[in-house]
Amino acid sequence: MVDYYPYLGGYANRINDQMALLSEHFDIRLFYLFRKKDESLEIPFKSYQLPSEAGERKNSSEVSENPFSLLRPSLILNSVRAVLQGCPLYYAPYFSPKAASVLQRKMEEENIDLVWANGIIGAMLIKNLKARFKVLDFCDSRFVLYSTLSKVVKSIPRRAFIFFDRWMSRNFERAMVKYFDVVSFICERDGRMPGLERFSVLPNIRKLKSFSKNKKIDMIMVGRWDYLPNLDALKFTVREIMPLLKNELVVLGPLGKTRLDAPPNVRIMGRVDDLDGYLGSAKLMLAPIRAGAGVQNKVIDGLEASMPVLTTKFVKEGLDPQNRCNAIIACEKPEDFARKATELLGDDVLRSRLGEEGRGFLEGYMADAAKKYEQLIKKMEST
């Protein structure tokens, strides 16, 4: 059960990989509320699109550009109903009691008694429905996201929204424990910070690929730059880190309507067809993420391509809380990023050793993730 299929960015990979794994053990029925506009989907499972009064699901960049788009009467009514049931404000317009009732009927018709729900809307639709075993995968915590965004957002209206919805998100995440047999997050921090009584950790699962070792690009950044934490990291890099460096930075990913006054050593590429080719050609990844939640997939991309990653303490503790991986290098000030980048780009032997260490760490991380999923699947099968 997902609210938006296919998801954007790392969420899409997580959900697709989870469904592929689950399909090896169970007969999958995919339920979803929204789909991308003008996109023909080839879903490898029997699927149902549930009815929704909202009609469409807006992403965060669309909402930030036009908040009044959520003021339609149907969305206001949905929001009031959802908030009264404890749903955080950001997702409240999309809650659909009609969808929940259709979902319960479909589950009964198909004899479905094992449920895997994703995210806040999935939780709202599933929490009161009957099933033998119910899993809720939050992936990352909205409470953690807001807690970090509050430190970088300057707009007073946005800060006010974040303050209120942060409180609602924490209460919601805590409350879901009593409705589900398993509540999971991608990392320990995202379940611990909201104060859940019990939760499981389900990292991303990924079949690791091989990459070229022909390193031509000095530094690389990847991401969706219409997502506020990523955009903050990009602006921080372009304005404060890169003026301290002479090396070139290649920036990959959709910018949306964002316009940057980048220095000459920053090459903004936007979307590219051969992302793996660029990753394999890069010597060093920059990921100075100062806000967000969960685990940053871009860091996993860098480790997979055997390159060191310069990031922040916040990002490192999500992926490597025991500080076991020297290839994930936490920096704080722009001068720290610039100094470490200069050191690594000037030492091929050190950079190569760290890159191989990072790849080895990731292989162990993925093996541990596979064990966690195996244990949960066995529990679902035996219940």
Contacts of 200 (CB under 8 A, 6+ apart): 182, 183, 184, 185, 191, 372, 376
Rounded CA-CA distance 356/337 in Å is: 21
Q: Are residues 277 and 315 in the same domain?
A: yes
Q: Are residues 361 and 252 in the same domain?
A: yes
Q: Are residues 306 and 360 in the same domain?
A: yes
Q: Are residues 178 and 227 in the same domain?
A: no
Rounded CA-CA distance 330/337 in Å is: 9
Q: Are residues 186 and 223 in the same domain?
A: no
In a domain, 208, yes or no: no
Q: Are residues 187 and 65 in the same domain?
A: yes
Q: Please report where in the chains the tokens 């969305």 appear, as a residue.
A: 75
- For the ranges 2-11, 240-249, 319-328, which has the lowest average pLDDT? 2-11
Decide: 2 and 122 in contact? Cβ < 8 Å.
yes
Rounded CA-CA distance 90/107 in Å is: 27
pLDDT of residue 37: 65
Query: For residue 367, what is the enclosing H or E element?
Result: helix 348-382
4 versus 106: the higher-pLDDT residue is 106
Q: What is the CATH number of the domain that holds 8?
A: 3.40.50
Domain finish residue from 172, 202, 232: 202
Q: Please report where in the chains the tokens 């920036």 appear, as a residue.
A: 251
**Overall average pLDDT of the 150-159 stretch:** 85
Exposure b/e, 69-108, CB count within 10 A at least 16 = b: ebeeeebeebbebbeeebbbebbbbbbbeebbebbbeebe
Q: Are residues 172 and 258 in the same domain?
A: no
In a domain, 209, yes or no: no
Q: Are residues 274 and 151 in the same domain?
A: no
Provide the number of structural domains found in the chain: 2
Q: Are residues 6 and 129 in the same domain?
A: yes
Q: What angle do CA 69, 71, 76 make, to 5 degrees?
A: 135
pLDDT tens for each residue of 72-122? 777 888 889 899 999 998 899 888 888 999 999 999 999 999 999 999 999
In a domain, 152, yes or no: yes
- Which residues constitute the domain of residue 94? 2-202
Q: What is the CATH number of the domain that holds 338?
A: 3.40.50.2000
pTM for the predicted model, two decimal places: 0.90
Q: Are residues 278 and 344 in the same domain?
A: yes
Give backbone dihedrals phi and psi of 99, rounded to 5 degrees, phi first: -65, -40
Q: Are residues 122 and 248 in the same domain?
A: no
Domain finish residue from 176, 202, 228: 202
Q: Are residues 187 and 238 in the same domain?
A: no
SS3 readout for 111-161: CCCEEEEEHHHHHHHHCCCCCCEEEEEEECCHHHHHHHHCCCCCCHHHHHH
pLDDT of residue 16: 87
**Has residue 236 got a pLDDT over 60?**
yes
**Has residue 358 got a pLDDT over 80?**
yes
Amino acid identity for residue 5 in this structure: Y
In a domain, 377, yes or no: no
**Has residue 202 got a pLDDT over 90?**
yes
In a domain, 113, yes or no: yes
- Listed ranges 187-201, 210-224, 261-275; the one with the highest mean pLDDT: 187-201
In a domain, 269, yes or no: yes
In a domain, 374, yes or no: no
pLDDT of residue 1: 84
Looking at the chain, the whole-number percentage of residues with pLDDT higher than 90 is 67
Decide: 306 and 351 in contact? Cβ < 8 Å.
no
In a domain, 372, yes or no: no
